[in-house]
Amino acid sequence: MLAIDNPVAAPSEVPWWAIYTRHQHEKVVAEMLAAKDFEVFLPLYDSTRRWKDRSKVLSLPLFPCYLFVHGGLDRKLQVVTTPGIHMILYRGDHVATIPQQEMEAIQRAVEGSYRVEPHPFLRCGMRVRVVRGALQGVEGILVRKKNLCRLILSVEMLAQSVAVEVHAADVEPCAAPAAPAVIALPRIAAAVKPAY
């Protein structure tokens, strides 16, 4: 993390905001902004790349093409005129700010002794596909129960579901399926109940 302390305001009052950079320009842009006295956070992770004759550990951005700035919103012009920057992220007419607790969580994970790596964005209730293990290729709905991720598998005709524990790193978001065609079922089918 490249950082310059801001003595003017308390850290909880100063917002974090994000910058979108050119591909593979995150480190250079972070260094240039730090040289302009911005407090910059560029979270990195180590990735081992293997070739036929060698392997090498690279430090790569955890969020490709993004880096974060703490405070300094009054100096946006100095940011956007920095080579390698595409834009500042906005929400409507205002710079999109990032909650302090989200940035602190990322900082603590990167600075700790944890193995950190990029992962597709997942939201509870999202349709996901298992990408490794015995359930590879299976699709279901992701839910959380306590600290565990579970994949909900359903038999729609029976209106019954089962839950199986999965590791969050073993799933990826599915593309949104096309809306199913509406099929008119006879009234009797709705009254069918399984025999026990």
What residues are paired with 8 via a beta bridge?
none
Residue 86 maps to a domain = yes
- Number of domains making up the chain: 2
Residue 193 maps to a domain = no
pLDDT tens figures, 128-146: 989 988 888 888 888 887 7
Average pLDDT over residues 4-11: 41
Residue 104 maps to a domain = yes
pLDDT tens figures, 149-171: 888 877 665 666 777 888 888 88
Residue 37 maps to a domain = yes
Both 20 and 107 in one domain: the answer is yes
What residues are paired with 87 via a beta bridge?
20
- Whether pTM exceeds 0.95: no
Among 3, 196, 28, 21, which residue's Cα sits nearest to residue 103? 3
Both 33 and 94 in one domain: the answer is yes
Band (pLDDT 50/70/90 cuts) for residue 61 is very high
- Domain span at residue 132? 127-173
Both 68 and 151 in one domain: the answer is no
Residue 192 maps to a domain = no
Output the 3-class SS for the chain. CCCCCCCCCCCCCCCEEEEEECCCCHHHHHHHHHHCCCEEECCEEEEEEECCCCEEEEEEECCCCEEEEECCHHHHHHHHCCCCEEEECEECCEECEECHHHHHHHHHHHHCCCCCCCCCCCCCCCEEEECCCCCCCCEEEEEEECCEEEEEEEEHHHCEEEEEEECHHHEEECCCCCCCCCCCCCHHHHCCCCCC
Residue 5 maps to a domain = no
Residue 155 maps to a domain = yes
> Rg for the chain (alpha carbons), in Å?
23
Both 42 and 96 in one domain: the answer is yes
Token pair in block for residue 81? 């005129």
pLDDT at res. 184: 45
